[in-house]
Amino acid sequence: MTQPAIQLQHVKKKIGSKTIIKDLSFDIYPGEVFGFLGPNGAGKTTTIRMIVGLMKMSEGDILIFGKSIKKHYKEAIKPVGAIVENPELYKHLSGYLNLIHYARMVNGVTKKRIDEVVELVGLKQRIHEKVKTYSLGMRQRLGLAQALLHSPKILILDEPTNGLDPAGIREIRQYIRRLAAEEGLAVIVSSHLLSEMELMCDRLGIIQNGQLVGVHTVGEFVGNDHEVMVRFAVDPIDRAFAILSEHYQASPQKEGNQLLHPMNHEDIPELIETLVQNNIKIYGVHAESKTLEEKFLEVTGGEKIV
Amino acid sequence: MFKFIKLVQNENMKTFRRVSSIVMLAILLCALGGVGAINKHYDTKDGKQTWQQQLQAENQTLEKQLKEHPNNSMKETLAINTYRLDHNIKPQDRSTSFWGNIADDAANGMQLVMIFAIIIAGGIVSSEFGSGTIKLLLTRPVSRSTILLSKYVSTLFTILVYTFACFIFSCLVSATFFGLDGLSSPYLFYQDGAVHEGNMLLHVFGQYGFQLIPTVMFVTLAFLISTVFRNSALAIGLSIFGLMAGSLVLQFIGRFTWSKYVIFSNLDLTPYFHGGGEPFREGMTLGFSITVLAIYYMVFIAITWISFKKRDVTA
C-alpha cells in the first residue's frame, strides 16, 4: 500500500474549554482529490489550519509523508502548497513581485518556473500590474500560482473556485483533476459548492461539529441508491398512468405531461417495454439520482448553523 | 544564511514599495529644508559684525558674569571662544553654519526619523495579520522565529536608510543655504582644563549615534506591540506616546530613587561624554544605563518572539 500523503491521527483542538475538533482521523493518498465538506462552523478551516501549521493541535498529530507537522514543521511543510480561505496577497505589489516574494522563501524556484506558472493560470497579460487592480477571480488565479510555484506534492485549496466565472471554474477543475491524475498530487479541496465537489473530487470527507461523519467515494455517495425517481415523458399520459397503476400497484405522480415514479434501477427497461407494447409514445425517460446536496443534507441532518 | 538575506529582501521590498514610505522621505526632506530656510532668513539681521567681533563681545559678557557666578559651562565656552580667536577658527556651532545646521538636524531630523521608524515597525507584523497575508507567509518551510527575525532586521535596516537619508538631506540643505566654507574646520571641545580639536564628521556621527539608541528602543517597543496585539494603530500610538511623554514622566517621577531604573531616564547617553551636562540622577554611570537598556531590550525581544511563536493564526 502506498504511503498516505497526509495522515490525521486523533487530532483534537480545544480553545478554552470548548472542543472544536473532536478526535479527527483520516488519510489522504497521492493522486486523489479529497473533498472536505461540512456546514459552516463545522471545523473545516480549523482542520486545514492545523494541517498547514497555522494552528497548533491540542492532541494527536498530523503526518505529511510520514513527517510530523508538530515536530518537524520545516521538513513536513515543504511538499505542501496551500491557499487558506481567500488568497490574500500583497495588494501594493504587482502579481509578479508577489510570486517573486514567495519564490524567495523556498529553494530552487527559477524565473522560468515563475513564468511557467503564470502562463498556466492564465495571468500573463496582467502579471505586472498591481494586485489591487485585480478582480476576485484573478486573485484566485494568482493564489493558485503561488501555491504551485514550488511544484508541491500536496495541494490544499480552501474554496478554490470562489469568485471564478463558469469558464474559470471549469478550467481550474480540469487542472486540479489533471494534477492529481498525471502528477500524482494529493489535493484537498473544501467548498460549499456541492455540485462542484461532485465533479472535482474522488472522495468526500464530511465533518460536522468537529467530528468526521463519514468518508465516502463520490460514486457510492451519490449514485449507489437502488431506488431512483424516474421521470417519463409519455403520450397519452392517462393510459400510461393506468398501466403503471395496474402493473405495479403504484400510483405515480402526474406532473404536466410527465409521470414521476419511484422504482428500482434494474426494472426500468422492462417498464419501457411494457409501455411500448401498449402503444404509448415515449419522449423521454430520466432517472433522477439524489444530488449531492440532498445526500449531504441527509447525512448532516440538515442541521442549522449554530 | 543565504535564504535569510532573501527574507530580509522580501520585507524591504514590501516596505519600500509602499507609497507611504516614500512620502515619509519627502516629508523629511521638506522639514529639513524648511528649517534651513528659516534659519537662513533670520541670520541676515546681525550680519554687520564679523565673527571675531561677536566672539569678543560674548567673551566680555561671559567674563563679567563669571566674576559674579562662577560656572563650569561658561568657563568652557569662554575657553573655546578664546581658542577660536587665537587660532582663527570660525565658529561652526551656530545653526546658520554648515556644520552647526547638520548637528542641529542630527537632533531634530532624527525626531522625525524616530516617528517614521515607529510607524513602519508598528505595521510590519500587524499589517500581515490585518490583510491575511500572514497565512501565506507562515505556510512555508521557514520557521516562525526566522520570519520574525527577518522582519526585525528589515525594520533596523529601514532605520538606517532613513537616518542616512536624514544625514544626506541635511548636508545638501546646509551646503545650499550656508555654503561649504568651514567644511574642514575642527570640532572644539573642553576637557581636563584645555581645549582640544576633534574631527567634525565624527562628532556629527556621534550625535546620530546617541539618537539611534532611543530610536532602536522605541522601534523595538512598537515591534513588540505590533506582534502581541496585531494592531498597527495601537503599536504606533503607544510608542509615539512613549516617545513624547518620556520627559514628562521623568519630571513627575524624578524625585524617587527608583526612577533611575525607568527606561526613559537611560535613553540619553550624552551626559556621560564631554559637554553633555549632568546625568539624570547622581551616581548613574554609562555602564549602569547600558545595562538597564540591555535588560529592557532583552525583555522586549523575548516577549515578542515567544508571543509570535506560540500563538495560533486565526486571521
Same domain, A107 and A26: yes
Among residues 139-158 of chain B, which lie with CB inside 8 Å of chain A?
Answer: 139-143
Q: Is residue A116 part of a domain?
A: yes
Q: Of A173, A193, A220, which closes a domain?
A: A220
Task: Tell me whether residue A281 is in a domain.
Answer: yes
H helix intervals, chain A: 44-51, 73-77, 95-103, 111-120, 136-148, 166-183, 194-200, 218-222, 237-248, 268-277, 292-299
Among partner residues B7, B19, B132, which is closest to A88 by beta-carbon distance? B132
Residue A86 has pLDDT above 90, yes or no: no
Contact A104 B7 (CB under 8 A): yes
- Measured between beta carbons, the chain A residues lying within 8 angstroms of B140 are 77, 102, 105-106
Residues A255 and A195 in one domain: no
User: Which chain A residue's Cα is nearest to B311?
Assistant: A55
Do residues A90 and A234 share a domain? no
Identify the residue with better confidence: B298 or A45.
B298
Mean of pLDDT over chain B:
88
The pLDDT of residue B254: 83
Tens-place pLDDT, residues B132-170: 999 999 999 999 999 999 999 999 999 999 999 999 999
Q: Is residue A302 part of a domain?
A: no
> Are residues A153 and A55 located together in one domain of the fold?
yes
Give me the mean pLDDT over the B217-229 stretch.
Answer: 95
Which cell numbers in the block locate residue B45? 539681521
Question: Is the pLDDT confidence value at A73 over 90?
Answer: yes
| Same domain? A271 vs A180 | no
Position A301 in a domain: no
Does A54 contact B at CB distance below 8 Å?
yes
In this prediction, residue A306 carries a pLDDT of 38
Q: What is the pLDDT of residue A69?
A: 93
Domain that holds residue A249: 227-288
- The 10s digit of each residue's pLDDT in B203-217 is 889 889 999 999 999
A186-190 and A211-217 strand pairing: unpaired
d(CA A3, CA A42): 28
Report the pLDDT value the prediction gives residue B276, as an integer from 0 to 100: 65
CA torsion B57→B62→B64→B67, rounded to 10°?
Answer: -160
pLDDT above 70: residue A303: no
On the question of pLDDT at A299 being above 90, the answer is: no
Residue A30 included in any domain? yes
Check CB contact under 8 Å for B10 and A56. Answer: no
pLDDT given for residue B46 in this prediction:
58
Q: Is A281 on the interface with B (CB under 8 A)?
A: no
Query: For B4, which residue in chain A has the nearest alpha carbon?
Result: A105
pLDDT at residue A1 in the model: 61
Give a yes or no: residue A91 inside a domain. Answer: yes
A303 lies in some domain: no
Whether residues A166 and A55 fall in one domain: yes
- What's the pLDDT tens digit per position in A5-24? 999 999 999 988 888 899 99
Is residue A180 located within the same domain as residue A101?
yes
* Structural domains in chain A (count): 2
Residue A227 C-alpha cell reads as 431506488
d(CA A186, CA A180): 6
User: Residue A222's pLDDT is what?
Assistant: 61
Could you tell me if A109 and A84 lie in one domain?
yes
CATH number at residue A82: 3.40.50.300
* pLDDT recorded at residue B141: 93
Look at A195 and A78; give whichever has higher pLDDT: A78
Q: Tens digits of per-residue pLDDT, B10-66?
A: 999 999 999 999 999 999 999 999 988 888 887 755 566 777 788 888 888 888 887
pLDDT at B86 (0 to 100): 83
Final residue belonging to a domain, choices A167, A186, A220: A220
| Winning range, highest mean pLDDT, from A180-194, A260-274, B34-48, B178-192 | A180-194
- Per-residue pLDDT averaged across A104-109, rounded? 91
Cell 520545516 identifies what position? A74
Q: Is residue A304 included in any domain, yes or no?
A: no
Q: Which residue has the higher pLDDT, A235 or B172?
A: B172
Residue of B135, B143, B313 to mutate, testing the A interface (most A Cβ within 10 Å of its Cβ): B135
**pLDDT of B239 over the 50 cut:** yes
**Range in A275-284, B184-193, B300-309 with the lowest mean pLDDT:** B184-193
Total length of chain A: 306
What nine digits make up the cell of A157? 485549496
Q: What is the C-alpha to C-alpha distance for residues A44 and A280, in angstroms, rounded to an integer? A: 52
Concatenated DSSP letters of A43-64? SHHHHHHHHTTSS--SEEEEEE
Confirm if B200 and B89 have CB atoms less than 8 A apart. Answer: no
Residues A169 and A276 in one domain: no
- Distances A156 to A35, A112, A189, B96 between C-alpha atoms, Å: 10, 24, 6, 64
Listed residues A181, A205, A220: the one ending a domain: A220
Range in A41-45, A103-107, A159-163 the model is least confident about: A159-163
What's residue A67's pLDDT? 94
B15 alpha carbon, distance to own chain's centre: 21
Q: Are both A157 and A267 inside the same structural domain?
A: no
Nearest-angstrom CA–CA distance, B216 and B214: 5
Measured at the CA of A268, the angle between CA A267 and CA A269, to 5 degrees, comes to 100
pLDDT at A223: 58
Pair A112, A195 in one domain: yes
Checking if the pLDDT of B96 tops 90, the result is no
More confidently predicted of B150 and B96: B150
A260 & A212 share domain: no
- In this structure, are strands A18-28 and A211-217 parallel, antiparallel, or unpaired? unpaired
**Whether the predicted pLDDT of A221 surpasses 70:** no
A59 closest CA partner among A91, A20, A110, A107? A20
The residue ranking higher by pLDDT, B223 or A292, is B223
Q: What is the pLDDT of residue A305?
A: 42
Contact B208, B113 (CB under 8 A): no
Residue that wins the pLDDT comparison between A287 and A6: A6
CA distance B157 to chain A (A): 18
CATH code for position A235: 3.30.70.120
The answer to whether A91 and B131 have CB atoms below 8 angstroms apart is yes
Q: How far apart are CA B54 and CA A254, in angstroms?
A: 114
Angle at A20 (CA atoms; ends A19, A26), nearest 5 degrees: 110
Residues of B in contact with A55 (CB under 8 A): 312-314
* ipTM > 0.90, yes or no: no
User: What band does B237 get if pLDDT is binned at 50, 70 and 90?
Assistant: very high
